Amino acid sequence: MPVYERGYTHWESTGGRTYPPWWVIARRGITEPLRSRWFLLLLVLAWIPAVVKGTIIYVKARTGNLLDLLGGGWASLSGDGVLAFIEGQRFFVFLLMAIVGARLIAMDRRDNGLALYFSRPLGMFDYIAGKTLIVLFYYLCVTLFPVYALCVFGYLVSAGTTGVNTLVVIPLQTTLFCLFAGVGMSLVLLAFSSVGKRTIFITVWWTILFMGSEAISALFAAGGFNWLEFLNFAGQYHNAGSLLLGTEPRLDIPPVVSMFLTLLYAVLALLILRRFVRPVEVVS
């Protein structure tokens, strides 16, 4: 159909680079929280344990193993020390993921934003992948990125540190674990976000699942019901991570069982997302 409006010009390519849709969604979602000073302060606080651990590593390099009694395995750069550090970051993981991820799909559903998204050349994969990368990025900010910094720092200050193990093996194992756990947790949180339209309710559900399940699991374990530790949502990822990092299991459940449960969480989350996030056909 011809366009007779004055000033109309046909579209011409500028020759600029075209980014994939999932990257456009992820980039905007990642940069938006960084405009808040309170959020930046929270990120700084989340790095304090890494600074403490780096200080202990530095002092240990100067005084020998005298501080092992103080830092224990947590202060080492072995697989056990890295996993213990990531476990200690679970509160910041819970908080950052709740702040960033609880509203990602809920606000789109509440404001009818899905119609705007899918009126463009955007598929389901691009939408889910973009939203997942937003949450995953902030999960990695308080888990994987501090470990990278600690490995480089530990190699520089420790004369007897093996470079292959500290700069290659441990970072690679940690990357695999963090991607596995981060993507799984992000999908579960996005599934919650896709079900509701009120951010406060989604945050409550996420709190019950992440923090409440850990408290309930610890309560049952104290009563001798260790087999009920499968209720610990975050603990399942850490327990499965013992396979990837070569450490002792974190729960009285075989790590293979925890791996299966975490994969089941991801599958259920994808089914929920498929059910509640539907492309909208725009008819002109």
Query: In the prediction, which pLDDT does 269 show?
Result: 96
CA 240, CA 221: separation in Å to the nearest integer? 18
13-64: per-residue pLDDT in tens?
565 567 788 999 999 999 999 999 999 999 999 999 999 998 888 887 777 6
Copy the structure tokens of residue 169: 């093996």
Higher pLDDT, 284 or 123: 123
CA angle 6, 7, 10 (to 5 degrees): 115
The encoded tokens of residue 185 equal 């947790």
Q: At 88, is the secondary structure helix, strand, or coil? A: helix
Give the pLDDT confidence score for residue 1 in this predicted structure.
47
Q: Could you tell me the CA-to-CA distances from 42 to 38, 91, 95, 234, 267 in Å, in that order?
A: 6, 11, 9, 21, 31
The predicted-structure confidence for 215-246, as pLDDT tens digits, reads as follows: 988 888 777 777 778 889 999 999 999 999 98
pLDDT of residue 233: 94
Question: Which pLDDT belongs to residue 284?
Answer: 43
**Spans of all domains in the chain:** 21-276
